Every structure is written in structure tokens, then in C-alpha cells.
Amino acid sequence: MSFQLVLAFWGVTLVGATPANARALAPQSAPASNSPSAQAAEQRPAQTVPSASLQDENGALDEAVNSAHRDPQVLIKNLENFLERFPHSPRREQVLRSIYRQALQSNDPHVAILYAEKLLEIHPDDPALLSSLVDLLDRETDAASRAKALVYATRFIDRAEKVAKDPPPQDVSADQWQESVSLMRASGYLMRARVYTKAGANDEAFADYERTFAAYPSSQVAERLGDLAAKKGDGDRALDYYATAFAFPERTPDPEHREELRKKLGYIYTAKYKSEKGLGDFVLARYDELSRSLKARVGTPSQLNAETRDPFQFVLQGLDGSSVRLADYRGKVIVMDFWATWCGPCRLEGRILERVLQDFRDQPAASFLAVNVDQEPGGVASYVRDEQWKIPVVYAEGLDHLLEVSALPTLLIFDRQGRVVFREEGMDPTTLQQQVEQKLREMLASGTPVPPSAPSR
């Protein structure tokens, strides 16, 4: 069950559920009575707004959206200027939420933090905002951000523990509700454990990782417990958790990481028993034990990026099964095209991007990725061969959900700082190549390259 689905059980309106296109902010003359804008208007106190002032506000908001020209950074600035000009606008919360969502979509954590906190002043117990703030602050390196992240994570946990005592909603089975509550509690403790780990508070982190594993066991959490136990010199507990992580009955899509886990397990086992004799039987016994205790979940594939909120910490899979780490692309300008084999316009967009790729083949700072979102990837390789694509192709592995890709094709351009500076949903074949090449040249000519960094786990 996904984290988003769990939040839905709580009655939370996720940011991703808002209109995908920023033009949803544009004023409408007569919204339907059941539309979100009409419902919001019904909830607001009646206000008398001079017609001239309202026309000015409508025109300013329309101009703010239309003049952004598909650049999320420009749209954010335009909307901020709108709020400065109309601080008491009845659309204030809607605009705040749009800025926050644009900042998330464009991987601009500083702006996202600022506006998430503004929204939290309006909705203090919104678990989606609390979760987002913890993730965003956890990406910062200063002590003040970690302290705030701990506060928000604890508020999230308190809310989760309170909701865990509630009966399930009428339209949700008891089993579904129990799983959703367990996953929500685990998510809260996991968020706080990660913050504690970065702060060097290993005892507190270990306790929260244990609470996470008790609420919703996973291979990743077992490995973290093994790492902390090994760091404390507790070989027996480290061996137990590493064996659990390695034998956990889920698919691991990153073979390089599985090899790393195998080395940890072998090292700890050899340190205790002087050789690896009997290790296979030990792991097999643990697998059988876990298969019995997790029978309902066996066969459910794990997601390597399930808890990742920074796109540059994602590990994707290439057509040949190799691991593609987006952290290796830091400091480059990236053209990222989300597509599927069943999408007719995607085929045309792919051919246009092949021309762009050829035009920039001598620019080492320009990178291209075609991110496939097919649910069944069986025909992807043959499709790419038939189209004779040179652009590197990877599978989304959840990146499309993080970046809120809701239409195909969707094309993003990241600048050297990792922010989205161009977003096009759908395509216009008469202008696409010119727009992409113009934005690429602009981004390549500006900014200082950021050195690549290894992804954290």
C-alpha cells in the first residue's frame, strides 16, 4: 500500500491532487457549484470586493501564470509578486499551495520549505505537509533544520498514534485500515530515525528504527538496524538484522546494493564464526521464518526509491538492467522525457529529442534521459530498437510520481542546481525543438557546475 493511499484514508488532500497545470489558477467567470474553487468560496466569509479591484486581481493572476512561459522558477516569482501586491486575496491559500507545489515539482527545497510552513500555519495537523517538511528539512545540513525536522516528525508521529486508535472508515476494511495505520506509524518513526542518524544521535535513531520495523517490517529498515548495531559493536544484533535484510522475501531492483548487503552479512558472520561455513543454512532458515510471518506480503515487490523524496537520490534501471544513479548527473543540465510505448505523441516527441540530442552531442554538460512509465515493460526494448533511439532509456521506478507526471509526454529540463526550469505537458511539434534548444543553451551558459555526489541510503 502506498504512502499516498494511506494519507487518503486520513482524508488528506494531497498537493498532487491539485490541477496539474498552473493555469488552474487563472480566474473563471462562473465555476461550477461542486468545483474546488466554488467549495472554497462557500467556506470563506462573505467579502465585498470592489469590481475594479477584483478585475485588477484577476488580470494580475492571469498575467502571472501566462507570462511564466513554462518555467516553474519564473512562475514562483510571479506568484510571490502577486501575493505582495494582493496580500488579502481570497485566493491566497490557493496561490500559496501552487507556489509550494511548483517548488516541489521543480526540486527547489528552500522555497518548498518556506511555503509549506506558511500552509502549516493554516492547517497545523496536515500530515502531508508535516511529512513533506521533514523530508525537505532532512535534505539540509544545518543543525537548525534538523531540529525543526525533529519537531515536525514528532508531530506527525503523535498524529499517527492518535489515528491508530480510531475505528476504520465505513468504506475501508479492517485489514486495509490496519495496514494503512501500520504504514503511517512506520513512516513517522522512519522519518525521525533518519534525522536522528544525520544528527549523530545513534541511540535515538536505533530506537526509532526498531519502532519502524515493529510497525511495518522491511529489508531497508533491517539493514539500517544492522548498520547501527555494527557501529555500536553489537555483532550479534548486527548479524541478526543483516540476515533479516538479506533474506527478506521481496524483490530488490538494485543488484549492486544487494552485493553490498551480502558483503556486510559475510563480514559480520565471519567475525563471529571465523568462516562462512553454515551461512547459507542460516540465511535460508531466516528466509523461511520471514516467509511465514509475512505471508500476506510475500510476492509484493519492494521499491528501492519508495522513501526517497529527492529526485537526485533516485536509482533507476536501464534497459540492460544496469543501475542509473541520478546523483551522477548533479551539476549537469538534464533533459528528461517521460513517455510510454502506447503514447502516440511520445513517439513524435522522441524523434524530435533525437535531433536535439545530435545538436548537443559535443556538450558534455548536457544530458538526456528518456524515462519510461509503462506498467508492463516487456515491449520497451523492442520499441526503442525500432525507433533507433540514441537517447539513454531508463524505467521510472517511481520518479514520475515524485515529479507529479500526470500527462504524457511530459518533458522537464533541470538546471545545474537540480531545479526544474522548463516543464511541458503534452507537446507542440512546431515549437518543441526550438524551445528545448533555447532553454538548453540558456542553462548551459549560466551557473556553476555542481560536483556530483554519491547517493545516500
Question: Strand 393-395 relative to strand 315-318: parallel, antiparallel, unpaired?
Answer: antiparallel
Q: Clarify whether residues 114 and 260 are in a common domain.
A: yes
* CA 355 from centroid of its chain's CA atoms: 30
Residue 396 lies inside a defined structural domain of this protein: yes
Residue 155 shares a structural domain with residue 14: yes
Write the pLDDT tens digit of every residue in 407-421. 999 999 999 999 999
Domain end, chosen from 233, 258, 293, is at 293
Do residue 253 and residue 337 come from a single domain?
Answer: no
- The pLDDT value recorded for residue 303 is 57
Chain segment 195-208, per-residue pLDDT in tens: 999 999 999 999 99
The last residue of one of the domains, among 266, 293, 320, is: 293
Asked if residue 38 is part of any domain, the answer here is no
Indicate if 179 and 234 belong to the same structural domain.
yes
367 and 333 in contact (C-beta within 8 Å)?
A: yes
Please report which confidence band the pLDDT of residue 31 belongs to, taking 50, 70 and 90 as the band edges: very low
Could you tell me if residue 354 is inside a domain?
A: yes
Beta-carbon contacts of 197 under 8 Å, excluding residues fewer than 6 positions away, are 205, 224, 228
Range of the domain at 246: 3-30+55-293
Q: 47 in a domain, yes or no?
A: no
Q: Report the CATH number at residue 214.
A: 1.25.40.10
Q: Check whether residue 286 and residue 322 sit in a common domain.
A: no
The maximal CA–CA distance of the chain, rounded, in angstroms, is 84
List the 315-318 sheet strands across, edge first: 323-325, 315-318, 393-395, 366-372, 333-339, 410-414, 420-425
- Across 359-377, b (16+ Cβ under 10 Å) vs e yields ebeeeeebbbbbbbbbeeb
**Residue 182 vs residues 6, 258, 341, 384: alpha-carbon distances, Å:** 10, 26, 36, 41
Query: Is 321 buried (19+), middle (13-18) or exposed (0-12) by CB count in 10 A?
Result: exposed
Average the pLDDT over each of 242-251, 301-310, 413-422 and give the range with the smallest value. 301-310
Give the CATH number of the domain where residue 324 resides.
3.40.30.10
What's the mean pLDDT in 42-57? Answer: 58
Say whether both 63 and 193 belong to one domain: yes
Same domain flag for 289 and 318: no
Same domain membership, residue 224 and residue 255: yes
Alpha helices in 199-319 (DSSP H): 202-215, 219-231, 235-247, 255-273, 279-293
pLDDT-derived band at 51 (thresholds 50, 70, 90) equals low
Same domain, 266 and 338: no
Determine the 3-state secondary structure of 243 from DSSP: helix
What's the CA gap between 60 and 365, in Å, rounded?
37
Question: Does residue 234 surpass a pLDDT of 90?
Answer: yes
Residues 6+ positions from 211 with CB-CB distance below 8 Å: 185, 186, 189
Q: Indicate the helix (H) or strand (E) that contains 336.
A: strand 333-339
> Does the pLDDT of residue 58 top 90, yes or no?
no
pLDDT digits (tens, 9 = 90+) for 371-401: 999 888 778 999 999 999 999 999 998 899 8
182, 272: one domain? yes
What is the pLDDT at residue 243? Answer: 95
Model pLDDT, residue 416: 94
Partners of 411 in the β-ladder: 337, 424
Residue pLDDT, tens place only, 98-143: 999 999 989 999 999 999 999 999 999 899 899 999 999 998 889 9
| Mean per-residue pLDDT over the chain, rounded | 83
The pLDDT tens digits of the residues spanning 319-347 come to 888 889 999 999 999 999 999 999 989 99
How many folded domains does the chain comprise? 2
**14 secondary structure, DSSP code:** -
Q: Look at 16-30, 132-146, 177-191, 312-326 and tell me which has the smallest mean pLDDT.
A: 16-30
Q: Which of 27-36, 59-68, 72-81 has the lowest mean pLDDT?
A: 27-36
pLDDT for 336 equals 97
- Is the residue at 49 inside a domain? no
CB of 98 within 8 A of CB of 25? Answer: yes
Check if the beta carbon of residue 205 is closer than 8 Å to that of residue 193.
yes
Are residues 109 and 83 part of one domain? yes
Average pLDDT, stretch 229-250?
A: 92
Q: What is the pLDDT of residues 253-287, one digit of tens each?
A: 567 788 899 999 999 999 999 999 999 999 999 98
Q: Which residues have a Cβ under 8 Å from the Cβ of 304 and sit 6 or more positions away?
A: 252, 253, 254, 257, 315, 397
Please check whether residue 392 lies inside any domain of the structure. Answer: yes
Does some domain include residue 450? no
Q: Which residues pair with 334 in a beta bridge?
A: 367, 414
Same domain, 402 and 432: yes
144-152: Cβ within 8 A, 24+ apart = 146/195, 146/198, 146/199, 149/191, 149/195, 150/192, 150/195, 150/196, 150/199
Q: Report yes or no: 307 and 190 within 8 Å, Cβ to Cβ.
A: yes
Burial class (CB in 10 A: 0-12, 13-18, 19+), 299: exposed
Query: At which of 233, 262, 293 does a domain end?
Result: 293
Whole-angstrom distance, CA of residue 381 vs CA of residue 177: 39
Residue 227 located in a structural domain: yes
